Chains A and B, each alone.
Chain A
Amino acid sequence: MTAPATSAPGASRRSRGGSLINGWAWLALPTVVFLVVFFIAPLILMSIRSVTDPPGAGVANYREFFSSEADVRVLGTTFYIATISTLVCLLVGYPYAYLMTIVSPRVSGLLLIFVLVPFWSSLLVRTFAWEVLLRDTGIVNSLLLSWGLIGAPLTLMRNTLGVILGMSQILLPFMVLPLFTVMRRIDPELTRAAANLGAPPFAAFRRVFLPLSLPGVVAGSLLVFVLALGFYITPTILGSPRETMISRFIADQVQTRLNWGLASAMAVILMALTFLALIAASRVVRLRDVYGSLEDET
Protein backbone atom coordinates (compact mmCIF):
# COMPACT_ATOMS: atom_id res chain seq x y z
CA MET A 1 0.00 0.00 0.00
CA THR A 2 1.54 3.27 -1.04
CA ALA A 3 0.19 6.73 -0.80
CA PRO A 4 -1.19 7.77 -4.19
CA ALA A 5 -0.20 11.29 -3.35
CA THR A 6 3.50 10.44 -3.13
CA SER A 7 3.73 8.04 -6.09
CA ALA A 8 3.53 10.64 -8.83
CA PRO A 9 6.13 13.38 -8.98
CA GLY A 10 3.55 16.07 -9.52
CA ALA A 11 1.49 14.83 -6.65
CA SER A 12 4.40 14.66 -4.25
CA ARG A 13 4.73 18.41 -4.45
CA ARG A 14 1.06 18.60 -3.69
CA SER A 15 1.53 16.48 -0.60
CA ARG A 16 3.39 19.31 1.09
CA GLY A 17 0.45 21.56 0.64
CA GLY A 18 -2.91 19.97 0.48
CA SER A 19 -2.78 16.17 0.43
CA LEU A 20 -4.65 14.29 3.11
CA ILE A 21 -1.85 11.84 3.84
CA ASN A 22 1.91 12.24 3.95
CA GLY A 23 4.63 9.60 4.07
CA TRP A 24 5.15 9.75 7.83
CA ALA A 25 1.60 8.63 8.44
CA TRP A 26 2.35 5.09 7.27
CA LEU A 27 4.81 4.56 10.12
CA ALA A 28 1.92 4.38 12.55
CA LEU A 29 0.24 1.62 10.56
CA PRO A 30 1.99 -1.47 12.03
CA THR A 31 1.27 -0.29 15.55
CA VAL A 32 -2.35 0.41 14.78
CA VAL A 33 -2.72 -3.04 13.18
CA PHE A 34 -1.03 -4.65 16.19
CA LEU A 35 -3.34 -2.90 18.64
CA VAL A 36 -6.45 -3.53 16.59
CA VAL A 37 -5.72 -7.26 16.35
CA PHE A 38 -4.47 -7.91 19.86
CA PHE A 39 -6.26 -5.25 21.88
CA ILE A 40 -9.29 -3.73 20.13
CA ALA A 41 -10.58 -6.95 18.55
CA PRO A 42 -10.85 -8.76 21.91
CA LEU A 43 -12.85 -5.83 23.29
CA ILE A 44 -15.16 -5.79 20.29
CA LEU A 45 -15.67 -9.55 20.39
CA MET A 46 -16.46 -9.30 24.06
CA SER A 47 -19.03 -6.58 23.40
CA ILE A 48 -20.65 -8.81 20.76
CA ARG A 49 -20.58 -11.71 23.17
CA SER A 50 -22.61 -9.71 25.67
CA VAL A 51 -25.62 -10.02 23.35
CA THR A 52 -24.92 -13.44 21.78
CA ASP A 53 -23.96 -15.62 24.76
CA PRO A 54 -26.01 -17.66 25.40
CA PRO A 55 -27.12 -17.81 21.74
CA GLY A 56 -29.94 -15.41 20.98
CA ALA A 57 -29.39 -13.60 24.28
CA GLY A 58 -30.07 -10.11 22.99
CA VAL A 59 -30.31 -7.79 25.96
CA ALA A 60 -31.05 -10.68 28.31
CA ASN A 61 -27.67 -10.39 30.02
CA TYR A 62 -28.20 -6.70 30.65
CA ARG A 63 -31.71 -7.35 31.90
CA GLU A 64 -30.45 -10.10 34.18
CA PHE A 65 -27.88 -7.81 35.65
CA PHE A 66 -30.20 -4.91 36.30
CA SER A 67 -32.96 -7.11 37.68
CA SER A 68 -30.75 -8.72 40.30
CA GLU A 69 -30.63 -6.58 43.39
CA ALA A 70 -27.31 -8.07 44.47
CA ASP A 71 -25.75 -7.29 41.09
CA VAL A 72 -26.97 -3.73 41.09
CA ARG A 73 -25.60 -3.36 44.59
CA VAL A 74 -22.15 -4.23 43.19
CA LEU A 75 -22.53 -1.29 40.86
CA GLY A 76 -23.59 0.90 43.79
CA THR A 77 -20.62 -0.25 45.88
CA THR A 78 -18.31 0.44 42.97
CA PHE A 79 -19.59 3.99 42.63
CA TYR A 80 -19.50 4.54 46.37
CA ILE A 81 -15.93 3.34 46.82
CA ALA A 82 -14.74 5.17 43.70
CA THR A 83 -16.35 8.40 44.89
CA ILE A 84 -14.88 8.24 48.39
CA SER A 85 -11.43 7.33 47.04
CA THR A 86 -11.63 10.28 44.65
CA LEU A 87 -12.52 12.66 47.47
CA VAL A 88 -9.70 11.36 49.65
CA CYS A 89 -7.25 11.76 46.77
CA LEU A 90 -8.45 15.31 46.17
CA LEU A 91 -8.18 16.22 49.82
CA VAL A 92 -4.67 14.81 50.11
CA GLY A 93 -3.49 15.60 46.60
CA TYR A 94 -4.52 19.25 46.32
CA PRO A 95 -2.30 20.61 49.10
CA TYR A 96 0.53 18.40 47.88
CA ALA A 97 0.30 19.62 44.28
CA TYR A 98 0.03 23.19 45.54
CA LEU A 99 3.14 22.68 47.64
CA MET A 100 4.94 21.44 44.52
CA THR A 101 4.21 24.73 42.75
CA ILE A 102 5.53 27.02 45.45
CA VAL A 103 8.81 25.36 46.39
CA SER A 104 12.09 25.65 44.52
CA PRO A 105 12.41 23.58 41.33
CA ARG A 106 14.78 21.19 43.06
CA VAL A 107 12.40 20.45 45.93
CA SER A 108 9.54 20.27 43.47
CA GLY A 109 11.43 17.62 41.48
CA LEU A 110 11.97 15.65 44.68
CA LEU A 111 8.29 15.86 45.58
CA LEU A 112 7.50 14.61 42.09
CA ILE A 113 9.80 11.62 42.56
CA PHE A 114 7.83 10.69 45.67
CA VAL A 115 4.75 10.55 43.45
CA LEU A 116 6.34 8.82 40.47
CA VAL A 117 8.18 6.02 42.27
CA PRO A 118 4.98 4.72 43.87
CA PHE A 119 3.15 5.11 40.56
CA TRP A 120 5.58 2.81 38.80
CA SER A 121 5.87 0.40 41.74
CA SER A 122 3.90 -2.81 41.71
CA LEU A 123 0.29 -2.30 42.66
CA LEU A 124 0.28 -5.78 44.12
CA VAL A 125 3.28 -5.06 46.32
CA ARG A 126 1.73 -1.84 47.56
CA THR A 127 -1.52 -3.60 48.32
CA PHE A 128 0.40 -6.32 50.10
CA ALA A 129 2.14 -3.62 52.14
CA TRP A 130 -1.23 -2.32 53.30
CA GLU A 131 -2.21 -5.84 54.25
CA VAL A 132 0.94 -6.17 56.34
CA LEU A 133 0.03 -2.91 58.06
CA LEU A 134 -3.69 -3.33 58.55
CA ARG A 135 -4.28 -7.03 59.33
CA ASP A 136 -5.60 -7.98 62.74
CA THR A 137 -2.06 -9.18 63.50
CA GLY A 138 -0.61 -6.39 61.39
CA ILE A 139 1.84 -3.70 62.30
CA VAL A 140 -0.67 -1.03 63.29
CA ASN A 141 -2.60 -3.33 65.56
CA SER A 142 0.45 -4.91 67.15
CA LEU A 143 1.94 -1.50 67.87
CA LEU A 144 -1.31 -0.16 69.33
CA LEU A 145 -1.69 -3.30 71.42
CA SER A 146 1.86 -3.21 72.72
CA TRP A 147 1.43 0.45 73.69
CA GLY A 148 -1.75 -0.51 75.50
CA LEU A 149 -3.86 1.94 73.51
CA ILE A 150 -6.35 -0.76 72.54
CA GLY A 151 -7.40 -4.01 74.19
CA ALA A 152 -8.37 -5.94 71.10
CA PRO A 153 -7.25 -5.60 67.49
CA LEU A 154 -9.13 -3.04 65.42
CA THR A 155 -10.66 -4.17 62.15
CA LEU A 156 -8.75 -2.09 59.68
CA MET A 157 -9.09 -4.25 56.58
CA ARG A 158 -11.57 -6.66 55.04
CA ASN A 159 -13.83 -3.62 55.18
CA THR A 160 -14.44 -0.37 53.32
CA LEU A 161 -11.81 1.51 55.31
CA GLY A 162 -9.01 -0.79 54.16
CA VAL A 163 -10.15 -0.64 50.54
CA ILE A 164 -10.32 3.14 50.57
CA LEU A 165 -6.94 3.55 52.25
CA GLY A 166 -5.23 1.29 49.73
CA MET A 167 -7.01 2.65 46.68
CA SER A 168 -6.51 6.30 47.60
CA GLN A 169 -2.83 5.73 48.10
CA ILE A 170 -2.42 3.90 44.81
CA LEU A 171 -4.51 6.43 42.89
CA LEU A 172 -3.00 9.54 44.47
CA PRO A 173 -0.43 10.08 41.68
CA PHE A 174 -3.26 10.32 39.14
CA MET A 175 -4.72 13.17 41.15
CA VAL A 176 -1.48 14.99 41.90
CA LEU A 177 -0.15 15.03 38.35
CA PRO A 178 -3.10 16.69 36.54
CA LEU A 179 -3.40 19.12 39.44
CA PHE A 180 0.28 19.96 39.24
CA THR A 181 0.12 20.27 35.44
CA VAL A 182 -2.64 22.86 35.72
CA MET A 183 -1.30 24.63 38.81
CA ARG A 184 2.16 25.21 37.47
CA ARG A 185 0.68 27.06 34.52
CA ILE A 186 -0.95 29.54 36.89
CA ASP A 187 1.20 32.65 36.86
CA PRO A 188 2.50 33.17 40.42
CA GLU A 189 2.25 36.89 39.78
CA LEU A 190 -1.55 36.55 39.91
CA THR A 191 -1.47 35.66 43.59
CA ARG A 192 0.89 38.54 44.21
CA ALA A 193 -1.36 40.84 42.20
CA ALA A 194 -4.28 39.80 44.40
CA ALA A 195 -2.23 40.55 47.52
CA ASN A 196 -1.21 43.88 46.07
CA LEU A 197 -4.86 44.73 45.50
CA GLY A 198 -5.66 44.06 49.14
CA ALA A 199 -6.46 40.35 49.32
CA PRO A 200 -5.12 38.55 52.40
CA PRO A 201 -3.58 35.14 51.62
CA PHE A 202 -6.73 33.10 52.03
CA ALA A 203 -8.89 35.50 50.02
CA ALA A 204 -6.24 35.55 47.29
CA PHE A 205 -6.28 31.77 47.22
CA ARG A 206 -10.06 31.49 47.17
CA ARG A 207 -10.72 34.19 44.62
CA VAL A 208 -7.77 33.67 42.28
CA PHE A 209 -5.78 30.45 42.65
CA LEU A 210 -8.61 28.06 43.44
CA PRO A 211 -10.83 29.00 40.47
CA LEU A 212 -7.86 28.81 38.13
CA SER A 213 -6.91 25.36 39.42
CA LEU A 214 -10.42 23.95 38.93
CA PRO A 215 -9.64 22.39 35.53
CA GLY A 216 -6.99 20.29 37.28
CA VAL A 217 -9.44 19.36 40.01
CA VAL A 218 -11.99 18.23 37.46
CA ALA A 219 -9.47 16.32 35.35
CA GLY A 220 -7.75 14.66 38.28
CA SER A 221 -11.04 13.71 39.93
CA LEU A 222 -12.46 12.21 36.75
CA LEU A 223 -9.27 10.31 36.04
CA VAL A 224 -9.07 8.90 39.56
CA PHE A 225 -12.76 8.10 39.54
CA VAL A 226 -12.51 6.25 36.22
CA LEU A 227 -9.51 4.24 37.30
CA ALA A 228 -11.14 3.50 40.65
CA LEU A 229 -14.19 2.08 38.86
CA GLY A 230 -11.97 -0.61 37.33
CA PHE A 231 -9.97 -1.56 40.42
CA TYR A 232 -9.60 -5.28 40.98
CA ILE A 233 -6.56 -6.35 43.00
CA THR A 234 -6.75 -3.88 45.87
CA PRO A 235 -10.45 -4.27 46.80
CA THR A 236 -10.11 -8.02 46.47
CA ILE A 237 -7.22 -8.23 48.94
CA LEU A 238 -8.17 -5.44 51.35
CA GLY A 239 -11.94 -5.79 51.18
CA SER A 240 -14.49 -8.40 52.15
CA PRO A 241 -17.13 -9.81 49.78
CA ARG A 242 -19.27 -6.84 50.80
CA GLU A 243 -16.72 -4.57 49.07
CA THR A 244 -17.00 -6.53 45.83
CA MET A 245 -16.53 -4.04 43.02
CA ILE A 246 -17.54 -4.53 39.44
CA SER A 247 -14.11 -5.78 38.30
CA ARG A 248 -14.08 -8.55 40.87
CA PHE A 249 -17.64 -9.40 39.99
CA ILE A 250 -16.67 -9.75 36.32
CA ALA A 251 -13.66 -11.88 37.20
CA ASP A 252 -15.81 -14.11 39.39
CA GLN A 253 -18.37 -14.57 36.61
CA VAL A 254 -15.61 -15.74 34.30
CA GLN A 255 -13.44 -17.73 36.70
CA THR A 256 -15.97 -19.53 38.87
CA ARG A 257 -19.32 -19.35 37.11
CA LEU A 258 -18.09 -19.35 33.52
CA ASN A 259 -20.96 -16.98 32.78
CA TRP A 260 -19.32 -15.18 29.88
CA GLY A 261 -22.45 -13.49 28.67
CA LEU A 262 -23.12 -11.69 31.93
CA ALA A 263 -19.45 -10.93 32.44
CA SER A 264 -19.27 -9.37 28.97
CA ALA A 265 -22.38 -7.30 29.56
CA MET A 266 -20.90 -5.94 32.76
CA ALA A 267 -17.65 -5.24 31.01
CA VAL A 268 -19.52 -3.22 28.40
CA ILE A 269 -21.27 -1.25 31.15
CA LEU A 270 -17.96 -0.57 32.89
CA MET A 271 -16.35 0.48 29.61
CA ALA A 272 -19.23 2.80 28.80
CA LEU A 273 -18.98 4.47 32.21
CA THR A 274 -15.25 4.86 31.74
CA PHE A 275 -15.54 6.47 28.34
CA LEU A 276 -18.28 8.85 29.45
CA ALA A 277 -16.17 10.10 32.32
CA LEU A 278 -13.10 10.40 30.12
CA ILE A 279 -14.85 12.35 27.42
CA ALA A 280 -15.91 14.77 30.12
CA ALA A 281 -12.34 14.93 31.41
CA SER A 282 -10.82 15.46 27.99
CA ARG A 283 -12.71 18.73 27.69
CA VAL A 284 -10.50 20.09 30.42
CA VAL A 285 -7.11 18.39 30.17
CA ARG A 286 -5.40 16.33 27.51
CA LEU A 287 -4.85 12.74 28.60
CA ARG A 288 -1.47 12.84 26.93
CA ASP A 289 -0.37 15.63 29.27
CA VAL A 290 -1.34 13.60 32.29
CA TYR A 291 0.53 10.51 31.20
CA GLY A 292 3.39 12.60 29.91
CA SER A 293 3.96 13.95 33.38
CA LEU A 294 4.03 10.40 34.72
CA GLU A 295 7.23 9.86 32.79
CA ASP A 296 8.66 13.26 33.32
CA GLU A 297 10.84 13.91 36.26
CA THR A 298 10.71 17.68 36.22
Chain B
Amino acid sequence: MTESWRRPNRLLLAGLGLLTIFFLIGPSLIVIPMGFSSSKILEFPPPGWSLEWYQKALTDPSWTSGFVNSFQVAVVTAIVSAILGTLAAMGLVRGRFPGKDLVNAVILSPLIVPVIIIAIGMFAIYVRWKITGSLVGLAIAHSALAIPFVVVSVSTSLRTIDRNLELAAQNLGADPIRTFTRITLPLILPGVLAGFLFAFLTSWDEVVVAIFLTTAKFRTLPVEMWEQVRQVVDPTVAAVATIVLAVTTTVLLLAFVVRRQAPVT
Protein backbone atom coordinates (compact mmCIF):
# COMPACT_ATOMS: atom_id res chain seq x y z
CA MET B 1 0.00 0.00 0.00
CA THR B 2 1.28 3.40 -0.95
CA GLU B 3 -0.10 5.39 1.91
CA SER B 4 2.18 3.78 4.44
CA TRP B 5 1.30 6.29 7.14
CA ARG B 6 -2.09 4.66 7.39
CA ARG B 7 -0.87 1.06 7.34
CA PRO B 8 -1.27 0.01 11.00
CA ASN B 9 -4.94 1.01 11.07
CA ARG B 10 -5.51 -0.75 7.80
CA LEU B 11 -4.07 -4.02 9.03
CA LEU B 12 -6.42 -3.89 12.00
CA LEU B 13 -9.34 -3.16 9.68
CA ALA B 14 -8.40 -6.00 7.37
CA GLY B 15 -8.37 -8.34 10.35
CA LEU B 16 -11.82 -7.18 11.42
CA GLY B 17 -12.98 -7.56 7.83
CA LEU B 18 -11.92 -11.20 7.74
CA LEU B 19 -13.73 -11.89 11.01
CA THR B 20 -16.85 -10.23 9.60
CA ILE B 21 -16.71 -12.35 6.46
CA PHE B 22 -16.41 -15.41 8.65
CA PHE B 23 -19.41 -14.24 10.69
CA LEU B 24 -21.43 -13.68 7.50
CA ILE B 25 -20.77 -16.92 5.65
CA GLY B 26 -19.07 -19.27 8.12
CA PRO B 27 -22.23 -20.65 9.73
CA SER B 28 -23.88 -21.40 6.37
CA LEU B 29 -20.76 -23.13 5.09
CA ILE B 30 -20.65 -25.40 8.13
CA VAL B 31 -24.05 -26.81 7.17
CA ILE B 32 -22.59 -28.29 4.00
CA PRO B 33 -20.48 -31.11 5.53
CA MET B 34 -23.32 -31.98 7.91
CA GLY B 35 -25.47 -33.16 5.01
CA PHE B 36 -22.79 -35.68 4.03
CA SER B 37 -22.55 -37.12 7.54
CA SER B 38 -22.95 -40.83 8.18
CA SER B 39 -24.39 -40.05 11.62
CA LYS B 40 -28.10 -40.23 12.35
CA ILE B 41 -27.92 -36.96 14.25
CA LEU B 42 -26.35 -33.61 13.43
CA GLU B 43 -22.95 -33.91 15.03
CA PHE B 44 -19.67 -32.24 14.31
CA PRO B 45 -17.27 -33.28 13.08
CA PRO B 46 -19.19 -35.98 11.19
CA PRO B 47 -17.97 -39.43 12.23
CA GLY B 48 -17.97 -40.58 8.61
CA TRP B 49 -19.36 -39.73 5.22
CA SER B 50 -22.44 -40.91 3.38
CA LEU B 51 -24.87 -39.85 0.70
CA GLU B 52 -27.80 -41.34 2.59
CA TRP B 53 -29.35 -37.96 3.47
CA TYR B 54 -29.07 -36.62 -0.04
CA GLN B 55 -30.71 -39.78 -1.28
CA LYS B 56 -33.50 -39.22 1.20
CA ALA B 57 -33.82 -35.56 0.28
CA LEU B 58 -34.09 -36.42 -3.39
CA THR B 59 -36.49 -39.36 -3.06
CA ASP B 60 -38.74 -38.70 -0.06
CA PRO B 61 -42.02 -37.44 -1.61
CA SER B 62 -42.51 -34.63 0.94
CA TRP B 63 -39.11 -33.17 -0.01
CA THR B 64 -39.38 -33.80 -3.75
CA SER B 65 -42.86 -32.32 -4.03
CA GLY B 66 -41.65 -29.35 -1.98
CA PHE B 67 -38.80 -28.93 -4.39
CA VAL B 68 -41.07 -29.09 -7.44
CA ASN B 69 -43.64 -26.75 -5.89
CA SER B 70 -41.04 -24.18 -4.87
CA PHE B 71 -39.48 -24.24 -8.30
CA GLN B 72 -42.82 -23.80 -10.06
CA VAL B 73 -43.94 -20.98 -7.80
CA ALA B 74 -40.57 -19.24 -8.24
CA VAL B 75 -40.71 -19.47 -12.03
CA VAL B 76 -44.29 -18.16 -12.23
CA THR B 77 -43.41 -15.39 -9.77
CA ALA B 78 -40.35 -14.44 -11.79
CA ILE B 79 -42.36 -14.21 -15.02
CA VAL B 80 -45.24 -12.24 -13.51
CA SER B 81 -43.04 -9.81 -11.62
CA ALA B 82 -40.59 -9.35 -14.50
CA ILE B 83 -43.47 -8.19 -16.70
CA LEU B 84 -45.25 -6.06 -14.12
CA GLY B 85 -42.01 -4.74 -12.70
CA THR B 86 -40.66 -3.70 -16.09
CA LEU B 87 -43.88 -1.90 -16.97
CA ALA B 88 -43.87 -0.13 -13.62
CA ALA B 89 -40.23 0.87 -14.00
CA MET B 90 -40.92 2.44 -17.37
CA GLY B 91 -43.94 4.25 -15.99
CA LEU B 92 -41.97 5.55 -13.03
CA VAL B 93 -38.80 6.52 -14.84
CA ARG B 94 -40.32 7.95 -18.02
CA GLY B 95 -43.80 8.83 -16.85
CA ARG B 96 -45.02 12.13 -15.52
CA PHE B 97 -48.13 12.13 -13.39
CA PRO B 98 -49.41 13.54 -10.13
CA GLY B 99 -48.88 11.41 -7.08
CA LYS B 100 -45.78 9.77 -8.47
CA ASP B 101 -44.17 9.69 -5.05
CA LEU B 102 -47.16 7.83 -3.69
CA VAL B 103 -47.10 5.30 -6.53
CA ASN B 104 -43.39 4.88 -5.95
CA ALA B 105 -44.02 4.25 -2.27
CA VAL B 106 -46.77 1.71 -3.05
CA ILE B 107 -44.48 -0.18 -5.41
CA LEU B 108 -41.56 -0.27 -2.98
CA SER B 109 -43.66 -0.87 0.15
CA PRO B 110 -43.55 -4.71 0.02
CA LEU B 111 -39.85 -4.35 0.87
CA ILE B 112 -40.49 -2.76 4.22
CA VAL B 113 -43.85 -3.86 5.58
CA PRO B 114 -43.07 -6.58 8.13
CA VAL B 115 -43.56 -9.86 6.39
CA ILE B 116 -45.72 -11.38 9.13
CA ILE B 117 -48.27 -8.61 8.56
CA ILE B 118 -48.22 -9.26 4.83
CA ALA B 119 -48.65 -12.97 5.52
CA ILE B 120 -51.67 -12.79 7.78
CA GLY B 121 -53.24 -9.94 5.82
CA MET B 122 -53.02 -11.92 2.62
CA PHE B 123 -54.11 -15.12 4.32
CA ALA B 124 -57.30 -13.53 5.63
CA ILE B 125 -58.39 -12.30 2.23
CA TYR B 126 -56.95 -15.04 -0.01
CA VAL B 127 -58.88 -17.60 2.01
CA ARG B 128 -62.09 -15.88 1.01
CA TRP B 129 -60.97 -15.82 -2.60
CA LYS B 130 -60.12 -19.51 -2.25
CA ILE B 131 -56.62 -19.16 -3.61
CA THR B 132 -54.72 -20.44 -0.58
CA GLY B 133 -52.97 -23.77 -0.83
CA SER B 134 -52.45 -23.25 -4.54
CA LEU B 135 -49.64 -22.36 -6.83
CA VAL B 136 -51.60 -19.36 -8.15
CA GLY B 137 -52.20 -17.83 -4.74
CA LEU B 138 -48.63 -18.19 -3.57
CA ALA B 139 -47.21 -16.95 -6.89
CA ILE B 140 -49.43 -13.85 -6.67
CA ALA B 141 -48.27 -13.20 -3.12
CA HIS B 142 -44.63 -13.72 -4.00
CA SER B 143 -44.96 -11.48 -7.06
CA ALA B 144 -46.06 -8.65 -4.80
CA LEU B 145 -42.90 -9.20 -2.76
CA ALA B 146 -40.65 -9.51 -5.81
CA ILE B 147 -41.92 -6.65 -7.99
CA PRO B 148 -39.88 -4.00 -6.12
CA PHE B 149 -36.64 -5.81 -6.91
CA VAL B 150 -37.49 -5.90 -10.62
CA VAL B 151 -38.47 -2.23 -10.55
CA VAL B 152 -35.18 -1.23 -8.94
CA SER B 153 -33.17 -3.34 -11.38
CA VAL B 154 -34.95 -2.15 -14.53
CA SER B 155 -35.06 1.50 -13.43
CA THR B 156 -31.31 1.45 -13.03
CA SER B 157 -30.95 0.18 -16.60
CA LEU B 158 -33.48 2.66 -17.94
CA ARG B 159 -31.75 5.61 -16.36
CA THR B 160 -28.44 4.73 -17.95
CA ILE B 161 -29.91 4.70 -21.46
CA ASP B 162 -29.04 7.70 -23.55
CA ARG B 163 -32.44 9.08 -24.60
CA ASN B 164 -30.83 10.36 -27.78
CA LEU B 165 -30.56 6.77 -29.01
CA GLU B 166 -34.35 6.53 -29.06
CA LEU B 167 -34.69 9.96 -30.62
CA ALA B 168 -32.15 8.92 -33.24
CA ALA B 169 -34.18 5.77 -34.02
CA GLN B 170 -37.33 7.85 -34.45
CA ASN B 171 -35.45 10.32 -36.58
CA LEU B 172 -34.35 7.39 -38.74
CA GLY B 173 -37.99 6.40 -39.23
CA ALA B 174 -38.85 3.95 -36.44
CA ASP B 175 -42.33 4.26 -34.95
CA PRO B 176 -42.66 4.21 -31.14
CA ILE B 177 -43.32 0.47 -30.98
CA ARG B 178 -40.38 -0.44 -33.16
CA THR B 179 -38.24 2.03 -31.25
CA PHE B 180 -39.11 0.12 -28.12
CA THR B 181 -38.56 -3.37 -29.49
CA ARG B 182 -35.43 -2.55 -31.47
CA ILE B 183 -33.69 -0.01 -29.23
CA THR B 184 -35.10 0.34 -25.71
CA LEU B 185 -35.82 -3.29 -24.92
CA PRO B 186 -32.41 -4.63 -26.00
CA LEU B 187 -30.76 -1.94 -23.91
CA ILE B 188 -32.72 -2.70 -20.74
CA LEU B 189 -32.80 -6.46 -21.27
CA PRO B 190 -29.91 -7.16 -18.85
CA GLY B 191 -31.81 -5.24 -16.17
CA VAL B 192 -35.01 -7.15 -16.93
CA LEU B 193 -33.25 -10.51 -16.86
CA ALA B 194 -31.46 -9.69 -13.63
CA GLY B 195 -34.80 -8.59 -12.19
CA PHE B 196 -36.30 -11.91 -13.33
CA LEU B 197 -33.57 -13.79 -11.47
CA PHE B 198 -33.88 -11.66 -8.33
CA ALA B 199 -37.63 -12.29 -8.38
CA PHE B 200 -36.97 -16.01 -8.69
CA LEU B 201 -34.72 -15.85 -5.63
CA THR B 202 -37.22 -13.82 -3.64
CA SER B 203 -39.83 -16.54 -4.11
CA TRP B 204 -37.44 -19.49 -3.96
CA ASP B 205 -36.56 -19.17 -0.29
CA GLU B 206 -39.50 -17.14 1.01
CA VAL B 207 -40.94 -18.83 4.08
CA VAL B 208 -43.22 -16.64 6.20
CA VAL B 209 -45.93 -15.88 3.63
CA ALA B 210 -45.62 -19.44 2.36
CA ILE B 211 -46.26 -20.82 5.84
CA PHE B 212 -49.64 -19.11 5.85
CA LEU B 213 -50.63 -19.58 2.22
CA THR B 214 -49.71 -23.24 1.82
CA THR B 215 -51.48 -26.33 3.10
CA ALA B 216 -50.35 -29.85 3.87
CA LYS B 217 -51.31 -30.75 0.31
CA PHE B 218 -49.34 -27.94 -1.31
CA ARG B 219 -46.10 -27.17 0.48
CA THR B 220 -42.97 -25.45 -0.71
CA LEU B 221 -39.46 -26.49 0.25
CA PRO B 222 -38.87 -23.74 2.85
CA VAL B 223 -42.18 -24.59 4.56
CA GLU B 224 -41.25 -28.25 4.68
CA MET B 225 -37.89 -27.21 6.18
CA TRP B 226 -39.60 -24.99 8.70
CA GLU B 227 -41.79 -27.88 9.84
CA GLN B 228 -38.79 -30.20 10.10
CA VAL B 229 -36.46 -27.75 11.82
CA ARG B 230 -38.98 -27.27 14.60
CA GLN B 231 -39.21 -31.02 15.14
CA VAL B 232 -36.49 -33.64 15.04
CA VAL B 233 -33.54 -32.48 13.07
CA ASP B 234 -31.76 -35.15 11.10
CA PRO B 235 -29.06 -34.46 8.54
CA THR B 236 -31.61 -34.51 5.72
CA VAL B 237 -32.39 -30.88 6.57
CA ALA B 238 -28.69 -30.06 6.19
CA ALA B 239 -28.70 -31.76 2.80
CA VAL B 240 -31.80 -29.84 1.71
CA ALA B 241 -30.33 -26.59 3.08
CA THR B 242 -27.21 -27.20 1.02
CA ILE B 243 -29.28 -27.74 -2.11
CA VAL B 244 -31.25 -24.54 -1.41
CA LEU B 245 -28.02 -22.59 -0.91
CA ALA B 246 -26.50 -24.04 -4.07
CA VAL B 247 -29.50 -23.01 -6.18
CA THR B 248 -29.51 -19.51 -4.60
CA THR B 249 -25.82 -18.94 -5.16
CA THR B 250 -25.97 -20.16 -8.74
CA VAL B 251 -28.93 -17.94 -9.63
CA LEU B 252 -27.39 -14.96 -7.85
CA LEU B 253 -24.07 -15.27 -9.64
CA LEU B 254 -25.98 -15.65 -12.89
CA ALA B 255 -27.83 -12.41 -12.08
CA PHE B 256 -24.53 -10.62 -11.52
CA VAL B 257 -23.14 -11.92 -14.78
CA VAL B 258 -26.29 -10.76 -16.58
CA ARG B 259 -26.02 -7.32 -14.97
CA ARG B 260 -22.46 -7.05 -16.22
CA GLN B 261 -23.70 -7.41 -19.78
CA ALA B 262 -25.43 -4.06 -19.44
CA PRO B 263 -24.37 -1.89 -22.38
CA VAL B 264 -22.02 0.84 -21.30
CA THR B 265 -23.33 4.25 -22.17
Contacts and interface: CB of A to CB of B under 8 A. Distances in A.
A27 interface: yes
Given A139-B30, A254-B120, 18 more contacts: A21-B97, A27-B88, A27-B91, A32-B103, A35-B144, A46-B124, A95-B13, A121-B28, A124-B207, A125-B241, A132-B27, A137-B42, A143-B44, A271-B113, A274-B113, A288-B152, A295-B194, A295-B259
A27 B184 CA distance: 15
Q: Which of B42, B110, B114, B122 has the most CB of A within 10 A?
A: B114
A105 B194 CA distance: 22
A13 to B, nearest CB: 15
B24 A172 contact: yes
A237 B97 contact: no
Contacts of B114: 229-230, 247, 267, 270-271, 274
A117 B91 CA distance: 30
Interface residues of B, number: 94
Q: Which of A122, A131, A229 has the most CB of B within 10 A?
A: A122
Contacts of B141: 38
Contact of B97 (A20, A124, A229, A296): A20
8 contacts: A31-B147, A102-B13, A121-B205, A125-B241, A128-B229, A130-B27, A267-B117, A274-B113
Interface string B234-265: 00011001001100110010011001100000
Contact of A32 (B106, B116, B118, B233): B106
B232 interface: no
B120 A46 contact: yes
Interface in A1-56: 19-32, 34-36, 38-43, 45-46, 49
Contacts of A26: 91, 95
B238 A40 contact: no
